[in-house]
Amino acid sequence: MPITLSECSYGYRRGHLVLDRLTLVFPEGVTLLLGPNGAGKSTLLAISASGFAPRTGSVSYRGLDPAKGQDRKSFRRAVAWMPQHISPIPGLTVRDQVAYMGWLKGLTRKDSWSRAAETLEAVELADLMERRSHELSGGQLRRVGLAQALVHEAEVILMDEPTAGLDPAQRETFRRLVKQVSAHAHVVISTHQIEDISQLYESVIVLDRGRVRFQGETSDFLRNGDAVTAYRRLVSGEV
């Protein structure tokens, strides 16, 4: 997956950088972005999706630079982003909300409407598509967020903590959906959990304090006891 960040820096307040001159090329396939809370995972994905503009450096995908007006629409059509917090849009049904996101990504109204129904069925919300989105539970809203990321058939899908708040059955549904989506799109999923790594992910990136501490294939990560131990120490705050 040729999403490339070159010398990217970003901070939320003066004098503190969450990312400091970070250079990273995301791998193809399904990638797990690991790191403790506050590591910079959400910021990294937001910049990669052009949701945030880096203070310095650049982001590119297949030659598209979202900082350039003529590239931004094509970049955002190719790259989907599911943020950590999904908000219902007041007054809209579930299908309305997903279709609206598809329209924002460049689909026609007709196509966005039909694709909304298809993606809601894929995330097992077809029976709720006419309900007002603000009436959904937290777990259901997260599946709406996934449908919003899938509706325009992006080439790359970035997901920030997508299983937060899901019960075991919903997490299993999510894993099944990721396997289906990965047949035609590259996927990056951020989390601080390491369950089921070998069953779903092909690559692992460990981020801590805005820096990449490990990047490689999942098999290498699992074979490398030092990498696994180092990650657990990061999460526990020992380093």
Domain ranges for the chain, please list them. Answer: 3-236
Q: What is the mean pLDDT of residues 13-38?
A: 89
Are the beta carbons of 20 and 9 closer than 8 angstroms? yes
CA distances from 42 to 46, 48, 56, 110 (A): 6, 10, 18, 33
Q: Is 129 exposed, middle or buried (0-12, 13-18, 19+ CB in 10 A)?
A: buried
pLDDT of residue 138: 85
Q: How far apart are CA 52 and CA 9, in angstroms?
A: 11
pTM over 0.85: yes
Closest Cα to residue 18, out of 49, 48, 40?
A: 40
pLDDT of residue 222 exceeding 70, the answer is: yes
In contact, 142 and 86? CB cutoff 8 Å: yes
CA angle 150, 176, 156 (to 5 degrees): 35
pLDDT (mean) for 105-131: 94
Q: What local confidence, expressed as pLDDT, does residue 155 receive?
A: 94
- pLDDT score of 237 more than 90: no
Mean pLDDT of the 112-118 span: 96
Spatial distance between the Cα atoms of 142 and 140, rounded to a whole number of angstroms: 5
Fold type of domain 3-236: Rossmann fold (3.40.50)
Of residues 23 and 227, more confidence is placed in 23
Side chain identity at residue 202, one-letter code: E
Mean pLDDT of the chain: 89
107-135: average pLDDT: 94
**pLDDT tens digits for 45-76?**
999 999 999 999 999 999 999 999 999 999 99
Could you report the per-residue pLDDT of 167-183, keeping only the tens digit for each?
788 788 888 888 888 88
pLDDT at 205 over 60: yes
Q: Are 235 and 192 in contact (CB under 8 A)?
A: yes
